[in-house]
């Protein structure tokens, strides 16, 4: 499993971001950043194809290390 960041043009609505339940969405001015773990390259290709089908402009796709989980207490 790999962690990906997918930056797209525009502010995607909750209806659109809910289509990708394995990805979280952070809204930035004029962009939406989807990020999360995907099982494999096929899963990534599926997300990218779905975004293309929706007419969403993909700006950047980056594989990054998973975020660190810190424990308090």
Q: In what order do the strands lie in the sheet with 24-28?
A: 24-28, 31-38, 2-9, 58-64
49-52 contacts at long range (C-beta below 8 A, 24 or more positions apart): 50/19, 50/20, 51/6, 51/8
pLDDT of amino acid 68: 76
For domain 2-64, give the CATH number.
3.30.70
pLDDT of amino acid 14: 93
Domain range list for the chain = 2-64
pLDDT of amino acid 17: 94
> 3 vs 13, 41, 70, CA distance in Å?
22, 11, 17
pLDDT of amino acid 73: 56
Q: Per-residue pLDDT tens, the chain, 73 aa: give them.
A: 899 999 999 999 999 999 999 999 999 999 999 999 999 999 999 999 999 999 999 999 999 887 776 666 5
């Amino acid at each position: 499993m790999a962690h990906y960041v997918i930056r797209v043009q525009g502010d995607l609505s909750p209806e659109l971001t809910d289509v990708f339940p394995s990805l979280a969405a952070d809204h930035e001015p004029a962009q939406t950043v989807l990020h999360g773990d995907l099982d494999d390259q096929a899963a990534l290709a599926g997300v990218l194809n779905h975004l293309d089908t929706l007419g969403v402009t993909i700006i950047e796709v980056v594989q990054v290390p998973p975020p660190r989980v810190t424990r308090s207490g």
